[in-house]
Structure 1
């Protein structure tokens, strides 16, 4: 995802969206990739999972005041409803998403 596609991919999405704000130099961000990819696979059709490299997309980084990493934003109906900062486990991400959408916990 890019600054240019953010509007269509996130703000206009009919599905809730989990946005992974990451940077290539952020080791915790890289370490979370498998967890986020697993979540995307499990919740396909219920939740959209998107990644935004903040180094390449400064507009969104500034607009949403992204200054800590990893940072995950949850959007529902185009509105940011939750912000998660730091490394999160699969279960923590499912719990956060379940506050906003009906997700079946897969453990």
Structure 2
């Protein structure tokens, strides 16, 4: 079951919801047909609950929202990008484990 702690964001909401956010933001760029994206989904849900109030965990469907992934040069999914203060801190491509994503998040908090 998907977590209600994960923010689903669109191209039109990205600037205010992610770039303009005062909290660090981890954005999962994914698509519903992507096997590795589905595999990492439960980990994203766990992280959203774990870091609630400290980090915004968001998902963006790249099929429905092509402008933002294009802006950040995303060529493969899942790609997870960590933002802080409107800037890209780091990114990971591929279905990685929870500990790798926790290490990524720790760079921003």
Q: Same fold (TM over 0.5)?
A: yes
Gaps of 5+ in 1: 102-107
Per the TM alignment, residue 100 of structure 1 is displaced from its structure 2 partner at its CA by 2.2
CA–CA distance in 1 between the matches of 2:24 and 2:35?
A: 27
1:47 paired residue among 39, 55, 58 = 55
1:36 paired residue among 30, 33, 44 = 44
Gaps of 5+ in 2: 1-8
- Which TM-score applies when normalising by structure 1? 0.92
Segment drifting more, 32-41 vs 92-101: 92-101
- Which TM-score applies when normalising by structure 2? 0.90
Q: Aligned Cα RMSD in Å?
A: 0.7
SS of aligned partner of 2:92: strand
Structure 1 runs, 4 residues or longer, greater than 2 Å off: none
CA–CA distance in 1 between the matches of 2:75 and 2:34?
A: 12
